Structure 1
Amino acid sequence: MGVIKVQVKWQRGMYPVEIDTDQPPALFKMQLFSLTGVPPERQKIMVKGGTLKDDSDWTKVGVKANQKLMMMGSAGPLPKAVSEPNGGSADTVMAEAEKDGTEGDANGKGGSKAFHPPCGLTNLGNTCYMNATMQCLYSIEELKTALKGYETTSQLDPTARLTASARDLFRKMDFEASGRPSGSAAGGSLAPSGKFDLDAERSDGEDGTYEERSVTPTEFLSSLRQKFPQFAQQGAGGLFMQQDAEECYSQVLNAFREKLDGSESGNTVKDLFGIDLETSLTCEESDETAVEASTVYTFKCNISQDVNHLHDGFKIGLCEDREKRSEKLGRLALFKGESRITTLPKYLSVQLVRKPPKQRRTRALSLSLSLCVWLAD
């Protein structure tokens, strides 16, 4: 079936979504979560035969291109129950829910307010990898704050130009999303919650679709290709080639780390994304041992038919053998490596690595995760 486009109706909005039928429905639900704010466990998506399950078979669900699907569910956290010893009850909890508007029916009456994504980025010709990267980084407020304070006097430095153009791009996205530049003294005021009102100067279309604004990231694309020429590769007919989103994400993050970390803003990228590891290496031939410390910015989860949980993929990724010079043997020897986490970041970046590509899975990959088992003492 490949990739098909559908329309998902939730409350007053209509959201266009692409379904990759080679992936489990759990991934589709995560896409809807990013668009609506409704957690996957609360989503009820009506399909042929009932509701869509995390491990449903797309071939049996019978979803067709341009089909309209109905989703029910509420965004935002559920209210915490008040314990009985303090005089609380289920009625009290329901009353608080109605008061706060955290729960509601599918029509949105008395329910939670729809979450609207930030403004879009125009595709400039196979640049979806770049747009996805910048939308992801745009959602991290601490990174945006650090970029706002970044100043450069040289446009000859490709890294400085890339960082400055990212700062300007995020400002434009803030402006288009809210009608006011984020953090600008000349701009408007913040909402009581401390966030911009994303509904400002927005409206619902006559067909119920939500009208989004977009920014054309021409300057950022130019600076990206200047800094990393691999993203300027052209194929037949002179068209720019599609690129890998994870590679773009890693390269942009490294550029930010070079310019932001160690500045007045502190080690922003290291604090937000850095994963400190302690790796124990053992050579079975010579009984030599060594301990190495390192920092990575992405956890790799290797997906195969035998990996059905993030935990399984990380276990493989943290046990890595390598060749290293043995002082006792006087030559290269195989060292078995096992890593433990010494510091976790605020934002954990995960790369799902599939080998071989497009290998069809019979089970959905579980995305819940506890990292306690890999923490160093």
Structure 2
Amino acid sequence: SVKWNGQKYDVDMNTDEPVLLLKTQLYTLTGVEPERQKLFLKGGLLKGASLMMMGTAGELPKAPETKPQFIETMTDQQLAETLKLPSGLINHENTCYMNATLQCLRVIPELQESLESYSDSGADLQGNLTESLRDLYRQLNRTTESYHPFEFIQVLRAVAPQFAQRDNRSYLQQDAKECWTEILSCLSSKLKLPPRLRQNDAGSSTSSASTTITSDADSLVRRYMTGEWIITQ
């Protein structure tokens, strides 16, 4: 038996086993961590002998409030949200020009914020493209797997028929800069500044440059993704 703090604990001990095993048993009974335990014995160690233990009990370990998650048990969406790894776009019939443009646009946080706040239904081709782009990025944020942008490429080809040109075998390769221009042209008439950005701009000082774009003040693309030359005499 072991005496500690006025209590007596009956513990079986095998002298062939390491002392740490005994201390671990005492820890489960008293809450005194093994490294803080000191054991005393009068005389030799005989069957039925009593030990005295000294040590201050600490707070017993608590179960974690949030259950730990392991990569092996996570869903694809949980992996995407946790690891923040960008998913790729599958190249199909020379769509690499479009995929590169979409990945470039994807890293612009203000654009993503504006797309998330876009709620108009696609009443025209420009609206269809804006809505399709928003849904595409949402899908990419939910997966770590490569994704095929079937819907978006169809909408893009409806907006800009030059991207639907084919030869006898497949769709023709196109220019990424032209794709960028076509997409921004659609977004410029549909995407407005999110409320946060409007508030930030409300207190900014006006200048001769800013007064020339007052009519475009609410357009995200025209405000942050385009520029203009101002020539003074």
Q: Give me the TM-score of the superposition, normalised by structure 1.
A: 0.32
Alignment counterpart, residue 128 of structure 2, candidates 140, 146, 161? 161
Return the structure number with greater relative CO, CA threshold 8 A, min gap 6: 2
Residue 279 of structure 1 pairs with residue 210 of structure 2: no
CA RMSD of aligned residues (A): 2.2
Q: Shift in Å at residue 262 of structure 1? A: 7.2
For residue 134 of structure 1, what is the amino acid of its counterpart? L
Unaligned runs of 5+ in 2: 1-82, 199-217
Residue 255 of structure 1 pairs with residue 165 of structure 2: no
8 Å CA contact 1:159–1:227 kept in 2: the answer is: yes
Identity rate of aligned residues, in percent? 38
Tell me the distance in 2 between the aligned counterparts of 1:172 and 1:116.
13
Deviation track 1:204-224 (CA, whole Å, cap 9, x = no partner) reads xxxxxxxxx211101100100
Tell me the distance in 1 between the aligned counterparts of 2:122 and 2:180.
24
Deviation track 1:43-101 (CA, whole Å, cap 9, x = no partner) reads xxxxxxxxxxxxxxxxxxxxxxxxxxxxxxxxxxxxxxxxxxxxxxxxxxxxxxxxxxx
Matches within 5 A, 1:115-264: 118-155=86-123, 157-177=124-144, 213-237=145-169, 239-261=170-192
Higher helix share: 2
8 Å CA contact 2:114–2:192 kept in 1: the answer is: no
Higher strand share: 1
Tell me the distance in 2 between the aligned counterparts of 1:154 and 1:231.
20
8 Å CA contact 2:163–2:174 kept in 1: the answer is: yes
**1:164/1:145 Cα in 2 relative to 1: closer, same or farther (>3 Å)?**
same
Unaligned runs of 5+ in 1: 1-114, 178-212, 281-290, 292-377
Q: Shift in Å at residue 261 of structure 1? A: 3.9
**1:231/1:139 Cα in 2 relative to 1: closer, same or farther (>3 Å)?**
same
Q: Shift in Å at residue 153 of structure 1? A: 2.6
Deviation track 1:288-327 (CA, whole Å, cap 9, x = no partner) reads xxx7xxxxxxxxxxxxxxxxxxxxxxxxxxxxxxxxxxxx
Q: Shift in Å at residue 273 of structure 1? A: 1.1
**1:245/1:121 Cα in 2 relative to 1: closer, same or farther (>3 Å)?**
same
8 Å CA contact 1:261–1:270 kept in 2: the answer is: no
**1:263/1:141 Cα in 2 relative to 1: closer, same or farther (>3 Å)?**
closer
For residue 86 of structure 2, what is the amino acid of its counterpart? P
Q: Shift in Å at residue 152 of structure 1? A: 2.2
> Computing the radius of gyration over CA atoms, which structure comes out larger, 1 or 2?
2
Q: Give me the TM-score of the superposition, normalised by structure 2.
A: 0.51
Q: Shift in Å at residue 147 of structure 1? A: 0.4
